[in-house]
A and B are shown apart, each in its own frame.
Chain A
Amino acid sequence: MKMRNFTGKTLRWEWREGVIELMLDHEPANEIGTAMLAELEKFVASFESLAPETSVCIIASARKSVFSAGGDLRELYATAAAVPAKDRPAGVRVFLERIHAVLNAIDAAPFVTIAAIHGACLGGGLELALACDMIIADKMARFAFPELRLGFIPGFGGIPRLKRDLGNAFVRDLLFTGRTVNATRAHAVGLVAQVAGEGEALRIARSTAAQITKYDAVTRAAAKKFIKPIPHDELRREIDLFCELFTRPTVMAALKKFVEDSSPMPYLP
Protein backbone atom coordinates (compact mmCIF):
# COMPACT_ATOMS: atom_id res chain seq x y z
CA MET A 1 0.00 0.00 0.00
CA LYS A 2 1.35 3.41 -0.94
CA MET A 3 2.08 5.53 2.10
CA ARG A 4 1.37 8.91 0.59
CA ASN A 5 0.76 10.40 4.00
CA PHE A 6 2.11 9.50 7.41
CA THR A 7 2.02 11.17 10.79
CA GLY A 8 4.32 9.73 13.41
CA LYS A 9 5.71 10.78 16.76
CA THR A 10 8.82 12.48 15.37
CA LEU A 11 7.97 13.34 11.78
CA ARG A 12 5.24 13.39 9.18
CA TRP A 13 5.13 13.36 5.42
CA GLU A 14 2.62 14.25 2.77
CA TRP A 15 2.66 13.60 -0.97
CA ARG A 16 1.02 16.18 -3.20
CA GLU A 17 1.25 16.64 -6.98
CA GLY A 18 4.55 14.81 -7.38
CA VAL A 19 6.26 16.33 -4.33
CA ILE A 20 6.74 14.68 -0.94
CA GLU A 21 7.19 17.01 2.01
CA LEU A 22 8.82 15.42 5.06
CA MET A 23 8.59 17.55 8.20
CA LEU A 24 10.76 16.74 11.17
CA ASP A 25 8.88 17.54 14.37
CA HIS A 26 10.47 16.07 17.49
CA GLU A 27 11.00 18.01 20.70
CA PRO A 28 13.16 19.77 21.53
CA ALA A 29 15.46 20.08 18.49
CA ASN A 30 14.72 17.19 16.09
CA GLU A 31 17.46 15.06 17.61
CA ILE A 32 18.02 11.86 15.63
CA GLY A 33 17.71 8.95 18.04
CA THR A 34 16.01 5.57 17.87
CA ALA A 35 12.50 7.03 17.64
CA MET A 36 13.25 9.26 14.65
CA LEU A 37 15.42 6.57 13.07
CA ALA A 38 12.51 4.10 13.11
CA GLU A 39 10.23 6.61 11.39
CA LEU A 40 12.92 7.57 8.86
CA GLU A 41 13.17 3.85 8.04
CA LYS A 42 9.42 3.81 7.35
CA PHE A 43 9.92 6.89 5.18
CA VAL A 44 12.63 5.37 2.97
CA ALA A 45 10.66 2.12 2.78
CA SER A 46 7.93 4.10 1.02
CA PHE A 47 10.27 5.29 -1.77
CA GLU A 48 9.77 2.33 -4.08
CA SER A 49 6.01 2.69 -4.21
CA LEU A 50 6.02 6.50 -4.34
CA ALA A 51 8.92 6.93 -6.78
CA PRO A 52 6.99 6.44 -10.08
CA GLU A 53 4.82 9.48 -9.29
CA THR A 54 7.36 11.61 -7.37
CA SER A 55 9.73 14.22 -8.78
CA VAL A 56 10.97 15.87 -5.61
CA CYS A 57 11.13 15.31 -1.87
CA ILE A 58 11.58 18.31 0.44
CA ILE A 59 12.86 17.70 3.97
CA ALA A 60 12.19 20.52 6.41
CA SER A 61 11.59 21.17 10.09
CA ALA A 62 8.47 22.17 11.96
CA ARG A 63 10.51 23.21 15.02
CA LYS A 64 11.39 26.84 15.65
CA SER A 65 15.04 27.90 15.22
CA VAL A 66 16.31 24.46 14.26
CA PHE A 67 16.44 22.00 11.37
CA SER A 68 18.10 19.34 13.53
CA ALA A 69 20.63 19.52 16.33
CA GLY A 70 21.96 16.11 15.28
CA GLY A 71 22.24 12.77 17.03
CA ASP A 72 20.34 12.30 20.28
CA LEU A 73 23.33 12.55 22.58
CA ARG A 74 21.28 12.11 25.74
CA GLU A 75 19.92 8.83 24.46
CA LEU A 76 23.38 7.79 23.25
CA TYR A 77 24.88 8.47 26.68
CA ALA A 78 22.06 6.73 28.56
CA THR A 79 22.21 3.67 26.31
CA ALA A 80 26.00 3.42 26.44
CA ALA A 81 26.16 3.98 30.19
CA ALA A 82 23.74 1.08 30.75
CA VAL A 83 26.06 -1.54 29.22
CA PRO A 84 29.64 -2.65 29.98
CA ALA A 85 32.28 -0.60 28.16
CA LYS A 86 33.36 -3.55 26.02
CA ASP A 87 29.81 -3.90 24.61
CA ARG A 88 29.35 -0.23 23.68
CA PRO A 89 30.99 -0.23 20.21
CA ALA A 90 28.78 -3.11 19.05
CA GLY A 91 25.63 -1.31 20.16
CA VAL A 92 26.73 1.91 18.47
CA ARG A 93 27.55 0.00 15.28
CA VAL A 94 23.99 -1.35 15.06
CA PHE A 95 22.59 2.18 15.22
CA LEU A 96 25.13 3.56 12.77
CA GLU A 97 24.46 0.87 10.20
CA ARG A 98 20.75 1.59 10.38
CA ILE A 99 21.15 5.36 10.00
CA HIS A 100 23.65 4.87 7.18
CA ALA A 101 21.12 2.67 5.37
CA VAL A 102 18.52 5.45 5.69
CA LEU A 103 20.85 8.22 4.53
CA ASN A 104 22.20 6.11 1.68
CA ALA A 105 18.60 5.55 0.54
CA ILE A 106 17.93 9.30 0.64
CA ASP A 107 21.22 9.99 -1.15
CA ALA A 108 20.29 7.53 -3.93
CA ALA A 109 16.57 8.33 -4.06
CA PRO A 110 15.17 8.14 -7.61
CA PHE A 111 13.80 11.68 -7.26
CA VAL A 112 15.44 14.97 -6.35
CA THR A 113 15.79 15.67 -2.62
CA ILE A 114 15.94 19.17 -1.15
CA ALA A 115 16.77 20.03 2.45
CA ALA A 116 15.02 23.31 3.34
CA ILE A 117 16.98 24.61 6.33
CA HIS A 118 16.20 27.21 8.93
CA GLY A 119 18.00 27.64 12.24
CA ALA A 120 20.63 25.24 13.54
CA CYS A 121 21.75 22.36 11.34
CA LEU A 122 24.34 20.54 13.42
CA GLY A 123 26.12 17.20 13.39
CA GLY A 124 23.71 14.46 12.32
CA GLY A 125 21.29 17.14 11.15
CA LEU A 126 23.91 18.39 8.71
CA GLU A 127 24.56 14.80 7.70
CA LEU A 128 20.87 14.38 6.86
CA ALA A 129 21.01 17.59 4.80
CA LEU A 130 24.18 16.39 3.02
CA ALA A 131 22.41 13.23 1.90
CA CYS A 132 20.02 15.46 -0.06
CA ASP A 133 20.73 16.71 -3.57
CA MET A 134 20.31 20.38 -2.70
CA ILE A 135 20.35 22.50 0.44
CA ILE A 136 18.24 25.66 0.43
CA ALA A 137 18.90 27.61 3.61
CA ASP A 138 17.46 30.79 5.03
CA LYS A 139 19.99 33.47 5.90
CA MET A 140 19.74 32.77 9.63
CA ALA A 141 20.68 29.09 9.26
CA ARG A 142 23.93 27.82 10.77
CA PHE A 143 25.88 24.67 10.06
CA ALA A 144 28.43 22.78 12.14
CA PHE A 145 30.14 19.49 12.86
CA PRO A 146 30.85 19.81 16.59
CA GLU A 147 31.62 16.10 17.08
CA LEU A 148 35.33 16.48 17.83
CA ARG A 149 34.54 18.23 21.07
CA LEU A 150 32.90 14.98 22.18
CA GLY A 151 35.89 12.89 21.22
CA PHE A 152 34.49 11.33 18.07
CA ILE A 153 33.88 12.16 14.43
CA PRO A 154 30.64 12.68 12.51
CA GLY A 155 29.28 9.15 12.24
CA PHE A 156 26.26 9.43 9.94
CA GLY A 157 28.29 9.77 6.72
CA GLY A 158 29.21 13.43 7.03
CA ILE A 159 32.90 13.30 6.20
CA PRO A 160 32.66 11.20 3.01
CA ARG A 161 29.78 13.36 1.75
CA LEU A 162 31.49 16.64 2.62
CA LYS A 163 34.62 15.47 0.81
CA ARG A 164 32.52 14.40 -2.17
CA ASP A 165 30.83 17.78 -2.43
CA LEU A 166 33.21 20.46 -1.15
CA GLY A 167 36.80 21.67 -1.12
CA ASN A 168 39.25 20.42 1.51
CA ALA A 169 39.97 23.80 3.09
CA PHE A 170 36.40 24.26 4.24
CA VAL A 171 35.92 20.61 5.22
CA ARG A 172 38.99 20.69 7.49
CA ASP A 173 38.10 24.06 9.02
CA LEU A 174 34.59 22.85 9.83
CA LEU A 175 35.71 19.54 11.28
CA PHE A 176 38.82 20.60 13.24
CA THR A 177 37.36 23.78 14.76
CA GLY A 178 33.83 22.46 15.32
CA ARG A 179 32.60 26.00 14.65
CA THR A 180 29.28 27.04 13.16
CA VAL A 181 29.15 28.83 9.83
CA ASN A 182 26.29 30.92 8.48
CA ALA A 183 24.30 30.33 5.31
CA THR A 184 26.13 33.06 3.39
CA ARG A 185 29.49 31.38 3.97
CA ALA A 186 27.98 27.96 3.32
CA HIS A 187 26.63 29.24 0.01
CA ALA A 188 30.01 30.74 -0.93
CA VAL A 189 31.75 27.37 -0.51
CA GLY A 190 29.07 25.43 -2.35
CA LEU A 191 27.41 23.66 0.59
CA VAL A 192 24.18 25.63 0.15
CA ALA A 193 22.62 25.90 -3.31
CA GLN A 194 20.35 28.86 -2.61
CA VAL A 195 20.05 31.34 0.27
CA ALA A 196 16.52 32.42 1.20
CA GLY A 197 15.22 35.31 3.24
CA GLU A 198 14.50 34.63 6.89
CA GLY A 199 11.71 32.09 7.17
CA GLU A 200 11.50 31.61 3.40
CA ALA A 201 13.52 28.41 2.85
CA LEU A 202 10.48 26.14 2.53
CA ARG A 203 8.70 28.48 0.15
CA ILE A 204 11.75 28.69 -2.07
CA ALA A 205 12.23 24.92 -1.88
CA ARG A 206 8.64 24.51 -3.10
CA SER A 207 9.13 26.85 -6.06
CA THR A 208 12.41 25.05 -6.91
CA ALA A 209 10.54 21.73 -6.71
CA ALA A 210 7.86 23.04 -9.07
CA GLN A 211 10.58 23.86 -11.61
CA ILE A 212 12.25 20.45 -11.24
CA THR A 213 8.99 18.58 -11.83
CA LYS A 214 8.85 19.96 -15.40
CA TYR A 215 11.61 17.68 -16.67
CA ASP A 216 11.70 14.04 -17.75
CA ALA A 217 11.94 11.72 -14.75
CA VAL A 218 14.07 9.03 -16.37
CA THR A 219 16.65 11.54 -17.62
CA ARG A 220 16.71 13.22 -14.22
CA ALA A 221 17.29 9.96 -12.36
CA ALA A 222 20.09 8.95 -14.77
CA ALA A 223 21.77 12.35 -14.44
CA LYS A 224 21.59 12.19 -10.67
CA LYS A 225 23.18 8.76 -10.53
CA PHE A 226 25.94 9.97 -12.87
CA ILE A 227 26.87 13.18 -11.02
CA LYS A 228 26.43 11.95 -7.48
CA PRO A 229 28.25 8.68 -6.73
CA ILE A 230 27.84 7.33 -3.21
CA PRO A 231 31.19 6.79 -1.44
CA HIS A 232 30.28 3.37 -0.01
CA ASP A 233 33.82 2.30 0.97
CA GLU A 234 34.53 5.52 2.85
CA LEU A 235 31.14 5.38 4.53
CA ARG A 236 31.92 1.90 5.86
CA ARG A 237 35.37 3.03 7.04
CA GLU A 238 33.73 5.97 8.83
CA ILE A 239 31.57 3.56 10.85
CA ASP A 240 34.67 1.54 11.78
CA LEU A 241 36.58 4.64 12.88
CA PHE A 242 33.62 5.96 14.88
CA CYS A 243 33.26 2.66 16.75
CA GLU A 244 36.98 2.54 17.43
CA LEU A 245 36.98 6.09 18.85
CA PHE A 246 33.89 5.31 20.91
CA THR A 247 35.90 2.89 23.06
CA ARG A 248 37.95 5.76 24.52
CA PRO A 249 37.04 6.92 28.06
CA THR A 250 37.17 10.58 26.95
CA VAL A 251 34.00 9.99 24.88
CA MET A 252 31.82 8.93 27.80
CA ALA A 253 33.26 11.73 29.91
CA ALA A 254 32.48 14.29 27.17
CA LEU A 255 28.95 12.90 26.66
CA LYS A 256 28.31 13.04 30.40
CA LYS A 257 29.49 16.64 30.49
CA PHE A 258 27.20 17.53 27.56
CA VAL A 259 24.19 15.84 29.17
CA GLU A 260 24.80 17.66 32.46
CA ASP A 261 25.58 21.03 30.82
CA SER A 262 23.07 23.72 31.65
CA SER A 263 24.99 26.55 29.98
CA PRO A 264 23.38 28.49 27.12
CA MET A 265 25.77 27.05 24.54
CA PRO A 266 26.10 23.27 25.04
CA TYR A 267 26.19 22.54 21.32
CA LEU A 268 29.16 24.76 20.64
CA PRO A 269 32.94 24.40 20.92
Chain B
Amino acid sequence: MRTLEQTTQEVLDLATKHFQLPAGTLAPGDDFFKKLGIDSLQTLEMLSRLENHFGIELPDYEVQGVSDFKTLAERIQSRL
Protein backbone atom coordinates (compact mmCIF):
# COMPACT_ATOMS: atom_id res chain seq x y z
CA MET B 1 0.00 0.00 0.00
CA ARG B 2 1.14 3.54 -0.76
CA THR B 3 2.49 5.78 1.96
CA LEU B 4 1.14 9.30 2.31
CA GLU B 5 4.42 10.61 0.85
CA GLN B 6 4.00 8.43 -2.24
CA THR B 7 0.39 9.51 -2.63
CA THR B 8 1.36 13.16 -2.30
CA GLN B 9 4.07 12.78 -4.92
CA GLU B 10 1.67 11.04 -7.32
CA VAL B 11 -0.84 13.89 -6.90
CA LEU B 12 1.90 16.42 -7.67
CA ASP B 13 3.06 14.38 -10.68
CA LEU B 14 -0.49 14.09 -12.05
CA ALA B 15 -1.06 17.84 -11.77
CA THR B 16 2.38 18.62 -13.24
CA LYS B 17 1.74 16.36 -16.21
CA HIS B 18 -1.83 17.49 -16.83
CA PHE B 19 -1.04 21.18 -16.68
CA GLN B 20 2.23 20.65 -18.58
CA LEU B 21 4.46 22.27 -15.99
CA PRO B 22 8.21 21.80 -15.56
CA ALA B 23 9.07 19.05 -13.05
CA GLY B 24 9.43 20.32 -9.52
CA THR B 25 7.15 23.33 -10.04
CA LEU B 26 4.58 22.17 -7.49
CA ALA B 27 5.09 21.56 -3.78
CA PRO B 28 2.86 19.79 -1.23
CA GLY B 29 1.95 23.00 0.57
CA ASP B 30 0.97 24.92 -2.56
CA ASP B 31 -2.57 26.24 -2.97
CA PHE B 32 -3.59 24.46 -6.17
CA PHE B 33 -6.31 26.96 -7.06
CA LYS B 34 -3.90 29.89 -6.87
CA LYS B 35 -0.90 28.04 -8.31
CA LEU B 36 -2.75 26.42 -11.23
CA GLY B 37 -5.38 29.12 -11.77
CA ILE B 38 -8.07 26.50 -12.35
CA ASP B 39 -11.80 27.11 -12.56
CA SER B 40 -14.61 24.91 -11.27
CA LEU B 41 -14.87 22.80 -14.42
CA GLN B 42 -11.13 22.09 -14.41
CA THR B 43 -11.43 21.19 -10.73
CA LEU B 44 -14.03 18.57 -11.58
CA GLU B 45 -11.80 17.25 -14.33
CA MET B 46 -8.91 16.97 -11.88
CA LEU B 47 -11.15 15.09 -9.46
CA SER B 48 -11.93 12.54 -12.19
CA ARG B 49 -8.26 12.24 -13.03
CA LEU B 50 -7.38 11.56 -9.39
CA GLU B 51 -10.21 9.07 -8.91
CA ASN B 52 -9.27 7.18 -12.08
CA HIS B 53 -5.58 7.12 -11.16
CA PHE B 54 -6.04 5.93 -7.58
CA GLY B 55 -9.08 3.75 -8.30
CA ILE B 56 -11.20 5.46 -5.63
CA GLU B 57 -14.27 7.62 -5.26
CA LEU B 58 -13.61 10.96 -3.61
CA PRO B 59 -16.87 12.72 -2.71
CA ASP B 60 -16.70 16.47 -3.32
CA TYR B 61 -17.79 17.26 0.24
CA GLU B 62 -14.64 15.52 1.54
CA VAL B 63 -12.46 17.99 -0.37
CA GLN B 64 -14.56 21.06 0.29
CA GLY B 65 -12.32 23.72 1.75
CA VAL B 66 -9.18 21.79 0.77
CA SER B 67 -6.82 23.89 -1.30
CA ASP B 68 -3.34 22.41 -0.86
CA PHE B 69 -1.89 19.23 -2.37
CA LYS B 70 -0.83 17.68 0.96
CA THR B 71 -4.32 17.84 2.49
CA LEU B 72 -5.80 16.58 -0.77
CA ALA B 73 -3.38 13.64 -0.61
CA GLU B 74 -4.51 12.91 2.96
CA ARG B 75 -8.13 12.73 1.81
CA ILE B 76 -7.12 10.37 -0.98
CA GLN B 77 -5.00 8.26 1.37
CA SER B 78 -7.98 7.66 3.62
CA ARG B 79 -9.80 6.07 0.66
CA LEU B 80 -6.99 3.70 -0.34
CA distance A66 to B39 in the complex (A): 12
Measured between beta carbons, the chain A residues less than 8 angstroms from B39 are 264
Q: Which of B35-62 contact A (CB under 8 A)?
A: 38-45, 47-49, 51-52, 57, 59-61
Judging by beta carbons under 8 Å apart, are A119 and B41 in contact? yes
- Select one of A65, A141, A177, A181 contacting B42, CB under 8 A: A65
Judging by beta carbons under 8 Å apart, are B64 and A140 in contact? no
Residue A182 at the chain B interface, CB threshold 8 Å: yes
By size class, the interface of chain A is 20 to 34
Judging by beta carbons under 8 Å apart, are B40 and A264 in contact? yes
- Select one of B38, B42, B51, B61 contacting A182, CB under 8 A: B51
CA distance A266 to B40 in the complex (A): 7
Measured between beta carbons, the chain B residues less than 8 angstroms from A29 are 41
Measured between beta carbons, the chain B residues less than 8 angstroms from A183 are 48
Judging by beta carbons under 8 Å apart, are A182 and B57 in contact? yes
Q: Which of A203-254 contact B (CB under 8 A)?
A: none
**Which residue in chain B gives the minimum CB-CB distance to A139?**
B52
CA distance A43 to B52 in the complex (A): 36
B35 shortest CB reach to chain A, Å: 12
Encode A21-40 as 1/0 by CB contact (under 8 A) with B. 00000000100000000000
CA distance A253 to B65 in the complex (A): 21
Judging by beta carbons under 8 Å apart, are A265 and B43 in contact? yes
**Which residue in chain A gives the minimum CB-CB distance to B38?**
A264
Most-contacted residue by chain A among B38, B40, B57 (CB, 10 A):
B40
Measured between beta carbons, the chain A residues less than 8 angstroms from B33 are 264
**Which residue in chain A gives the minimum CB-CB distance to B50?**
A182
Judging by beta carbons under 8 Å apart, are A269 and B48 in contact? no
Residue A102 at the chain B interface, CB threshold 8 Å: no
Measured between beta carbons, the chain A residues less than 8 angstroms from B59 are 177, 179
Q: Which of A40-73 contact B (CB under 8 A)?
A: 64-66, 69
B67 shortest CB reach to chain A, Å: 9
Judging by beta carbons under 8 Å apart, are B41 and A65 in contact? yes
**Which residue in chain A gives the minimum CB-CB distance to B39?**
A264
CA distance A98 to B41 in the complex (A): 28
- Select one of B43, B49, B57 contacting A264, CB under 8 A: B43
CA distance A60 to B43 in the complex (A): 21
Residue A100 at the chain B interface, CB threshold 8 Å: no
Known: A65-B45, A269-B64. 16 other contacts (CB 8 A): A29-B41, A65-B42, A119-B45, A120-B44, A139-B48, A142-B44, A142-B45, A178-B61, A179-B61, A180-B44, A182-B48, A183-B48, A264-B40, A265-B60, A267-B40, A268-B60
Interchain residue pairs A-B with the least CB separation, the first 10: A65-B41, A140-B48, A179-B59, A268-B60, A264-B33, A179-B60, A269-B61, A142-B44, A182-B48, A265-B40
Please report A residues at the B interface, Cβ cutoff 8 Å: 29, 64-66, 69, 119-120, 139-142, 144, 177-185, 264-269
Q: Can you report 15 residue pairs joining A to B where beta carbons are below 8 Å apart? A: A29-B41, A65-B41, A139-B48, A142-B44, A177-B59, A177-B61, A179-B59, A179-B60, A180-B47, A180-B60, A182-B57, A264-B38, A264-B39, A264-B43, A268-B40
